[in-house]
Amino acid sequence: MNIQALINDKVSQALEAAGAPAGSPAAVRQSTKAQFGDYQANGVMGVAKKLGINPREFAQKVIDVLELDGIAEKVEIAGPGFINIFLCKSWLAARAEEALADARVGVATEEQQNIVVDYSAPNVAKEMHVGHLRSTIIGDAVVRTLEFLGHNVIRANHIGDWGTQFGMLIANLERVQKETGEVSMELSDLEAFYRESKKLYDEDEEFAARARGYVVKLQGGDEYCAEMWKKLVDVTMVQNQRNYDRLNVSLSRENVMGESMYNDMLPGIVADLKEKGLAVESDGAQVVFLDEYKNKDGDPMGVIIQKRDGGFLYTTTDIACAKYRYEQLNADRVLYFIDSRQHQHLMQAWSIVRKAGYVPEEVTLEHHAFGMMLGKDGRPFKTRAGGTVRLTDLLDESELRAAKLIEEKNPTLDAEEKANIAKTVAMAAVKYADLSKHRTTDYIFDWDNMLAFEGNTAPYMQYAYTRVASIFKRADVELADLTHPVVINDEKEQALLSALLQFEEAVLAVAREGQPHLMCTYLFELAGKFSSFYEACPILNAEEAVKQSRLKLALLTAKTIKQGLDLLGIETLERM
């Protein structure tokens, strides 16, 4: 249940009844400190200022008509006119029972929207690098969250599968096939294959001529080139799929909507932009001049949408792509999880999209940018030799390190279980380290931190779940056996329950802002509240009614942590 929204409604009604103009914001937020109650309404001061009246007196008027009977046990005015709201223990307890009885731990669905999420987007014949890793992990967590809220989510893997580089790639694939026979899906080192193609192109005139010919043929729809192109896409995506599966990322081959998909739309787009007077010819190229972007001389910046040689650009594709997502996929909202360095590119593409009227204003195009992944030295994350880190190597290393850790922690488990735990912890650690950081900042990739059992890490959260779940297991009961109701007597119980019931607010925040770290922070704080509760409130040794009430709190905690981690794409373990 969304308690924040409920209280916000109630305070809004009271504001109006007390004389505030209709629609004045109640500004109800979760309280930052326990002494300010569970929620605080900050809207009174703004209204009082507008009306020219004393804010504390106005706050009192609002409280007089505020209807929170049975919901709040205490409502207080604080400071210049904040209203602090303390929720009723019995009301909280009743919500706990509801959440426990619900498979969605009490979270309601939202009105369904069609939401396109553009994420991962690796490039063909190239290894996925750390930038794609961030997009993949963050995007997938948001996708899971939106689906949980009942939305129709379209995963769009905008892979780089088009462009002039395919001439040299096809020419090289042909060469390799002639020399070694049929190429399997194992063309293992794609990065090396790409480099080799480039080298041949640069150094071998005959090869280069053939490659250029293939570009033209491929664009003209030649069957042989199309087949070779498809082979390159297949090999790449088979390899990427292995990474997705390992990482428990919900992408599959059907979600590929690469750049090539929009190719046929591009001539029409350029023609249309010319007709609308948006694109003009400049030095033989087709250019859109945007007033809101100035070049260094202070003149409107030109965005090229078609080169002099007739070729289209990355921007042209993204214009077509946004149009397609609105017209063909009926998107209400489009989220792009892309490196912050592509921000200007997107803003320019979308500015043209809006000016051309391809996507109406009410359909949001959202760039959810993220920073770079840095090494411990604060510089871009690289191998010791200075190359890009292959994702597979990174995941392998995480598994090795996790295996060592589990061996130290729990040497007596059998080998198979140890290996399974290590794998789960390893993937979770890589993901959680990324997810728990504020998306827009660069972040430091640090093995020791991310595999630590203390702090806001995957092992800590997974262990917190295992521990809570084990309390319930030790009690050896089912929820149905717990006939006594939840009763709140201790303030630690209340603090825990109040946090548990804010789960929906965390889910909604992630969906709205595309910031999974909000869920990580929520879960980490929840685990902390559980620890304080568990220290202060014995469970299994308490008398029966109290024991049952506390077991219910433990069960709801376990379910909430599991659900929260699941939305992040993090797997839990029953034993660690």
Applying CB under 6 A, the residues found at the interface with ligand ARG are 118, 121, 123, 158, 160, 318, 321, 336, 338
Shortest reach from residue 126's CB to ligand ARG, in Å: 8
Shortest reach from residue 313's CB to ligand ARG, in Å: 12
Shortest reach from residue 336's CB to ligand ARG, in Å: 6
Q: Which is nearer to ligand ARG, 248 or 340 (CB)?
A: 340
Q: Which is nearer to ligand ARG, 166 or 534 (CB)?
A: 166
Shortest reach from residue 123's CB to ligand ARG, in Å: 5
Shortest reach from residue 121's CB to ligand ARG, in Å: 4
Taking CB atoms within 8 Å and a gap of at least 24, the contacts of 279-287 are 279/305, 279/306, 283/308, 284/308
Alpha-carbon torsion, ordered 541, 545, 550, 554, to 10 deg: 100
Q: What angle do CA 125, 159, 269 make, to 5 degrees?
A: 125
Shortest reach from residue 259's CB to ligand ARG, in Å: 7
β-bridge mates for residue 115, sequence order: 153, 333
SS (H, E, C) 477-519: CCHHHCCCCCCCCCHHHHHHHHHHCCHHHHHHHHHHHCCCHHH
Q: Which is nearer to ligand ARG, 84 or 260 (CB)?
A: 260
Q: Which is nearer to ligand ARG, 86 or 119 (CB)?
A: 119
Q: Which is nearer to ligand ARG, 318 or 434 (CB)?
A: 318
Shortest reach from residue 439's CB to ligand ARG, in Å: 15
Torsions phi, psi for 335 (to 5 deg): -110, 130
Q: Which is nearer to ligand ARG, 123 or 560 (CB)?
A: 123
Q: Quick one: 421 exposed, middle or buried, by C-beta within 10 A (0-12, 13-18, 19+)? A: buried
* Cα four-point dihedral sign 376, 377, 382, 387: negative
Q: How many Å from the N-terminal Cα to the C-terminal Cα in the chain? A: 32
User: Does residue 283 contact residue 308 with C-beta atoms inside 8 Å?
Assistant: yes
Shortest reach from residue 92's CB to ligand ARG, in Å: 44
Q: Quick one: 96 exposed, middle or buried, by C-beta within 10 A (0-12, 13-18, 19+)? A: buried
Q: Which is nearer to ligand ARG, 162 or 522 (CB)?
A: 162
Q: Which is nearer to ligand ARG, 193 or 432 (CB)?
A: 193
Shortest reach from residue 442's CB to ligand ARG, in Å: 17
Shortest reach from residue 255's CB to ligand ARG, in Å: 13
Shortest reach from residue 387's CB to ligand ARG, in Å: 17
Shortest reach from residue 158's CB to ligand ARG, in Å: 4
DSSP state of 370: B
Q: Which is nearer to ligand ARG, 118 or 504 (CB)?
A: 118
| Three-state DSSP state, 276 | coil
Shortest reach from residue 512's CB to ligand ARG, in Å: 21
Neighbours of 518 (CB within 10 A): 23
Give every CB contact of residue 218 below 8 A, 6+ residues apart in sequence. 166, 167, 170, 225, 226, 229
Name the amino acid, one letter, at 530.
F
The residue among 509, 536, 535, 533 whose CA lies nearest residue 521 is 509
Shortest reach from residue 368's CB to ligand ARG, in Å: 11
Q: Which is nearer to ligand ARG, 252 or 532 (CB)?
A: 252
Q: Give the tokens for residue 388.
A: 């890009």
Alpha-carbon torsion, ordered 463, 465, 469, 470, to 10 deg: 10
How far apart CA 488 and CA 491 sit, in angstroms, is: 8
The residue among 441, 392, 451, 362 whose CA lies nearest residue 138 is 441
Q: Which is nearer to ligand ARG, 118 or 434 (CB)?
A: 118
Q: Which is nearer to ligand ARG, 119 or 533 (CB)?
A: 119
Within 13 Å of residue 254, how many CA atoms lie on the same side as its CB?
2
Q: Which is nearer to ligand ARG, 158 or 210 (CB)?
A: 158
Shortest reach from residue 344's CB to ligand ARG, in Å: 12
User: Does residue 319 contact residue 353 with C-beta atoms inside 8 Å?
Assistant: yes
How far apart CA 322 and CA 348 sit, in angstroms, is: 12
Q: Which is nearer to ligand ARG, 318 or 399 (CB)?
A: 318
Closest residue to ligand ARG in the complex (CB):
121
How far apart CA 405 and CA 59 sit, in angstroms, is: 56
E strand spans, 274-332: 279-282, 285-294, 300-306
How far apart CA 97 and CA 391 sit, in angstroms, is: 44
Name the amino acid, one letter, at 58.
F
Q: Which is nearer to ligand ARG, 207 or 336 (CB)?
A: 336
| Three-state DSSP state, 310 | coil
